[in-house]
Structure 1
């Protein structure tokens, strides 16, 4: 209880100060005292402090510094526990008082620093506060939404993707839960784009669409590239990655025709031509290596518009094989995009593309 008493003494002191009178040392003392309250499970004392309207000036100056300690406190309790709910109440209280941009950066900092088994444990409870903060930013929120999605994806992409039905059910690293939670997190921003009457006249909505599409294509590589979308489990609604894939495709469904015409088809053509080019050069190089020096190369290898210098056949084969391997990776991603489109078509066979 000593920490709770110390906090009350500090609060009484700070309530007599104007905003200009706060010093850095005051912030440090306040932060340390609040940390002790959290460590001693004096959550109600700290929550009452945040809710008290008399402390708004104090919290506007120092409140965002509490995000780290509160997040650390949540890590020590079970998902959905009363202690976690108390921590979330504190975060929501800070969101109502503090500068939204400061709170946003504070939350993203905690997510960005998450590692190992702590990644999902930190992300899951912070998604709702993060969504609330982003919605408070008004129309000029596209960049912040994109930054948030990028930060979330960079952490989740480090988690192993469960492959079998048993692994999905166990969800050891909580990746399945995170994917489903991400759908709910992104929904308001997807609605902003899908409900727009004329995107061409709304620059903010255009920017939001761009950020969402960037996130979608990132998800194609991870986790969806290695996720099992078909067959397991038998009930497709029980497969979190299938649900996640369907929701992502739904979110950009109005753009599918443009994506197919302006990106997928040209990419197919480019990959086929490039593969044929490099395979022909490999055949020519192999013939050289066997001693058929009289055989004229079928094509030349260039990079950045410049022909590559002469190399030994072994070096040429290594470079060419590396390029073909890159094409394999690109084709894998492209195949997964087409598979996701097929998933959407099967889930809504009567829906018209681009409608």
Structure 2
């Protein structure tokens, strides 16, 4: 019945000399053709379509058969597959390219999550053939196709393990490989134009569409991908995809060194098809930089010899962008890029002028967030390592100003303690022969020491919460009093000591006595409550208020343990404080 309807409508349309077929004929052609294909009459449909007398009908109406054809081709097991492939090939040769393009992209868009990879890989070659038929006016169509394809490809999960990438369990790898083949003829076309710079326009539409494809690919999926090292996975489709994206950028006239340095070199506004921020998204450039300097992908087409300091400056904005995110993959890439950018810089060489750039403070502050807030222990440890590496690269004056700035803004006792330990190391280095400097000795050091040797809330400061800072500051003070003799006073500590005693040591002693008394009282009360509760089996938990905050409900034994631990910590602080007081008392004893 459907075959008879198809033959009937085709014969009726043959009699129409122009191509103004009535809408009802389109409907009958589509319905009858779809039914024939679905019922297995593909051979008969093929014989009708290849008949020369029906060429104009196929040109106007043939694209309507794409939907049922592609569904059969995706199933792969149908006995009519050869005939369906032949029908598709004939439609690609004869039907209207514009209509075919719309029909093919509709199939891509309509693919459900389980069939994205199969649909994309099946339709890339047909799409390429259709676009090549469009000639010189194909640029916008190429852009539309690439945008549609990528929007579907990025829905595929990114392989995490080596095995997932090897087996391509999600289909992302074969889609990326197929996309490279898809864009190849269009890249070659622009590459030929690039050879003659007089004929190349930055706003050549096809070039712009390929640039957008590369930038989009860098942000998705490549920014999500954690590439495996070659020794782990010798043949990596995703590494190959990343490498080819950078090659395409070079082939279409983009200089990788220029792209890298966009954010620090002032450029004239370029009028044209796209605004600069849209044309060169920072996330995409961050990914490009990570590929270049962490994985060394594209270094063979990166001819410029740039100084390590300049590369660091270029990468700081990308590092900040990545470290500002919460996704662990982004944080890892930010840490890796910052580390690789720092490694090439000579120790103690970064000039203090760089600290006038806000980003040289904001990136370490982002590092602090990773070190203190990231749930992943590996990333926290990596963050601390990179933080220290960044400190090591600053000159002496830059270290001094960096420490001062970070102490004013960090608001985290652990970080402040770490900074104070670094200050102690710098003072120790400066006190050694031939290492003296103006920043960690004498008059410049004293303002820094005032930031170190202070209690944020005076005697009421929470000593437990500020333990790391307090212990490191006391250790620094003890070290300086022992190492820098009063008659030498290279650091100026002895001149300043009466202020330190009044503004730091006495308030600390007061706060320590208050805290110990409070916790000892709480410990006695908890022990007494425990004795009472042992007589009443119903009383199994209790609460203790410490520092105006209630501890969580827990057994008396656990609360006793917490309180005893706090008292032990106070004893630790007191032992160092007592040693400092002994040193001060000893200085007043006459030498025998």
Could you tell me the TM-score, scaled by structure 2's length? 0.45
Deviations 1:199-224 (A, max 9, x none): 54255982222111111111111111
Name the CA shift for 1:47/1:158 in 2 (closer, same or farther; >3 Å). same
Length, aligned pairs only: 289
Structure number with larger C-alpha Rg: 2
Q: Which residue of 2 aligns with 1:300?
A: none
Deviations 1:242-285 (A, max 9, x none): 11111111111256863432x43243689xxxxxxxxxxxxxxx
In the TM superposition, what are the counterparts of 1:41-80 in structure 2 within 5 Å? 41-77=40-76
* Structure 1 contact 3–36 (Cα < 8 Å) conserved: yes
* Structure 1 contact 131–185 (Cα < 8 Å) conserved: yes
Give RMSD over aligned pairs: 3.0
Deviation at 1:76, TM superposition (A): 2.5
Cα distance in 2, alignment partners of residues 67 and 182 from structure 1 = 21
Name the CA shift for 1:15/1:138 in 2 (closer, same or farther; >3 Å). same
1:190 and 2:140 matched: no
Name the CA shift for 1:84/1:200 in 2 (closer, same or farther; >3 Å). farther
Q: Which residue of 2 aligns with 1:210?
A: 208
Q: Which residue of 1 aligns with 2:410?
A: none
1:239 and 2:231 matched: no
Cα distance in 1, alignment partners of residues 108 and 29 from structure 2 = 24
Q: Which residue of 2 aligns with 1:276?
A: none
Cα distance in 2, alignment partners of residues 233 and 37 from structure 1 = 53
1:158 and 2:155 matched: yes
Name the CA shift for 1:133/1:256 in 2 (closer, same or farther; >3 Å). closer
Name the CA shift for 1:207/1:341 in 2 (closer, same or farther; >3 Å). farther
Name the CA shift for 1:205/1:233 in 2 (closer, same or farther; >3 Å). farther
Q: Which residue of 2 aligns with 1:281?
A: none
Cα distance in 1, alignment partners of residues 37 and 156 from structure 2 = 29
* Structure 1 contact 233–239 (Cα < 8 Å) conserved: no
**Which structure's relative contact order is higher, taking Cα pairs within 8 Å and 6+ residues apart?**
1
* Structure 1 contact 51–93 (Cα < 8 Å) conserved: yes
Name the CA shift for 1:346/1:66 in 2 (closer, same or farther; >3 Å). closer
Cα distance in 2, alignment partners of residues 342 and 137 from structure 1 = 40
Cα distance in 2, alignment partners of residues 147 and 37 from structure 1 = 32
Name the CA shift for 1:266/1:12 in 2 (closer, same or farther; >3 Å). closer
Deviation at 1:344, TM superposition (A): 8.6
1:38 and 2:34 matched: no
* Structure 1 contact 59–97 (Cα < 8 Å) conserved: yes
* Structure 2 contact 187–252 (Cα < 8 Å) conserved: no
* Structure 2 contact 60–96 (Cα < 8 Å) conserved: no
- SS of match in other structure, 2:159: coil
Q: Which residue of 1 aligns with 2:146?
A: 149
Cα distance in 2, alignment partners of residues 242 and 18 from structure 1 = 55
Could you tell me the TM-score, scaled by structure 1's length? 0.72
1:252 and 2:249 matched: yes
1:175 and 2:180 matched: no
What residue ranges of structure 2 are gaps of 5+ in the alignment? 267-280, 305-592
* Structure 1 contact 142–204 (Cα < 8 Å) conserved: no
Deviation at 1:136, TM superposition (A): 0.8
Deviations 1:298-333 (A, max 9, x none): xxxxxxxxxxxxxxxxxxxxxxxxxxxxxxxx9875
Cα distance in 1, alignment partners of residues 189 and 44 from structure 2 = 39
Cα distance in 1, alignment partners of residues 27 and 188 from structure 2 = 41
1:111 and 2:108 matched: yes
Tell me which stretches of 4 or more aligned residues in structure 1 moved more than 6 Å: none
Q: Which residue of 1 aligns with 2:323?
A: none
1:340 and 2:302 matched: no
Name the CA shift for 1:137/1:331 in 2 (closer, same or farther; >3 Å). closer
Name the CA shift for 1:234/1:215 in 2 (closer, same or farther; >3 Å). same
Cα distance in 2, alignment partners of residues 186 and 47 from structure 1 = 30
